[in-house]
């Protein structure tokens, strides 16, 4: 197992280098002078020269990249030109909100997606199968910004059941421990805050869950249909095992491997920041931070933010590969 992990880590090195080059070149792909793009048209020449010196834009490209990677390897991801705070601190403040939203969305996506996929496979060509696959197609096709706005209009403004934005109401007080509000409310026994946080997170997590839910449902159905045709499933049924045991213990266990890969990829992409969802619901996460940085032309945050998000995605994929090898030991031999 140790050799397999080392092999996977070595394989990630070219990926990380490639991503770092793309993130580094971002500021140099801006048409015209990057300093003027950041500061605006009214900036003086002295101000632009100071920013060029601060960002090291006067040095040759290879020197800038070497300094950029040297700083990253030391944990220095630069500073925001707007707040002057370290980029890593900006991300550390916003990441718990994105993590909580991503976890909530993935829980919904996995539970609904796997169950819908299993039932659709067992009852192939039934009304449920057709409806669930149409729902999966809609889940992938519907724009999140439209779905989020419609959910806000219906559940927040028309029915008044849920809250449309932010993580907590202004008059709700919560002692934070992990900055995951639902977990903090449980740990501190603050149940009114738990209910309030749940009402705030439900709509954005449902909107964010639609795409991974649809993909997981389709993948589960496809994988289950293939497994249900295998000889050992017919043997299990011939032995008189209950259908639930055959489906969930024998079939789903073997069909879950490709689904696990999809779950890891989807969770990694959600952790990277759901820009549209967080912007529509005013959710103070990584995606909204990136949106605000782009609108404010805070390119150090955008540049280093892309690198941080890519590193998170790569690490999630590594964890999925390791988990995959535990579920199916044959993977380690390849």
> How far is residue 26's CA from residue 314's CA, in Å, rounded to a whole number?
20
d(C-alpha 52, C-alpha 33), whole Å: 10
**Which residues are bridge partners to 86 per DSSP?**
79
What pLDDT, on the 0 to 100 scale, is given for residue 1?
Answer: 65
Structural domains in the chain? Answer: 94-296 (1.10.3720.10)
Average pLDDT for 288-296: 85
* Predicted pLDDT of residue 265: 82
Structure tokens at 99: 């993590």
DSSP per-residue letters across 23-59: HHHGGGSSSS-HHHHHH-TT--HHHHHHHHHHHTTTS
181 — pLDDT class (breaks 50, 70, 90): very high
CB 217 within 8 A of CB 132: yes
CB 210 within 8 A of CB 144: yes
Residues 227 and 255 sit within 8 Å (Cβ to Cβ): yes
Of 19, 14, 10, nearest to 68 by C-alpha is 19
DSSP, res 86: B
The pLDDT score that the predictor gives to residue 329 is 65
Q: What percent of the chain has pLDDT over 70?
A: 95
Q: Which residues pair with 79 in a beta bridge?
A: 86
Which of 123-127, 314-318, 323-327 comes out lowest in average pLDDT?
A: 323-327
The tokens describing 63, both together, are 């020197």
pLDDT in tens, 233-255: 888 888 888 888 888 888 888 88
Task: Retrieve residue 171's tokens.
Answer: 């008059």
The predicted-structure confidence for 11-35, as pLDDT tens digits, reads as follows 888 888 888 888 888 767 766 666 7
Residue 226 tokens, joined: 């293939």
Among residues 262, 257, 316, which one has the least CA distance to residue 109?
262
Q: Round to whole Å and give the CA distance between 120 and 126.
A: 8
Per residue in 68-91, pLDDT (tens digit) is 888 888 888 888 878 888 989 988
């Amino acid at each position: 197992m140790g050799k397999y992990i080392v092999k996977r880590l070595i394989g990630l090195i070219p990926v990380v280098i490639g991503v770092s080059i793309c993130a580094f070149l971002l500021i140099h792909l801006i048409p015209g002078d990057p300093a003027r793009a950041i500061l605006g048209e009214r900036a003086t020449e002295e101000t632009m020269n100071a920013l060029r010196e601060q960002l090291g834009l006067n040095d040759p490209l290879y020197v800038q990249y070497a300094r950029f990677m040297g700083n990253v390897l030391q944990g220095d991801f630069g500073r925001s030109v707007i707040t002057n705070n370290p980029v890593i601190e900006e991300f550390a403040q916003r990441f718990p909100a994105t993590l909580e939203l991503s976890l909530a969305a993935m829980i919904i996506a996995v539970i609904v997606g796997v169950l819908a996929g299993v039932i659709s496979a067992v009852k192939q060509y039934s009304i449920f199968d057709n409806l669930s696959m149409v729902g999966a197609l809609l889940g992938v096709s519907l724009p999140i910004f439209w779905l989020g706005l419609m959910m806000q209009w219906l559940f927040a403004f028309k029915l008044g059941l849920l809250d449309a934005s932010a993580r907590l109401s202004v008059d709700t007080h919560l002692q934070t421990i992990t900055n995951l509000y639902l977990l903090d409310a449980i740990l501190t026994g603050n149940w009114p805050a738990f209910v309030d946080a749940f009402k705030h997170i439900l709509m954005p997590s449902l909107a964010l869950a639609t795409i991974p839910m649809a993909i997981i449902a389709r993948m589960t159905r496809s994988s289950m249909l293939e497994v249900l045709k295998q000889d050992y499933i017919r043997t299990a049924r011939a032995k008189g095992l209950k259908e639930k045991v055959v489906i969930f213990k024998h079939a789903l266990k073997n069909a879950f491997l490709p689904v696990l890969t999809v779950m890891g990829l989807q969770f990694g992409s959600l952790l990277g920041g759901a820009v549209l969802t967080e912007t529509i619901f005013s959710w103070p996460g990584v995606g909204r931070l990136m949106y605000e940085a782009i609108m404010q032309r805070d390119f150090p945050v955008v540049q280093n933010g892309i690198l941080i998000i890519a590193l998170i995605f790569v690490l999630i994929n590594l964890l999925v590969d390791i988990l995959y090898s535990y579920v199916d030991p044959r993977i380690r031999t390849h």
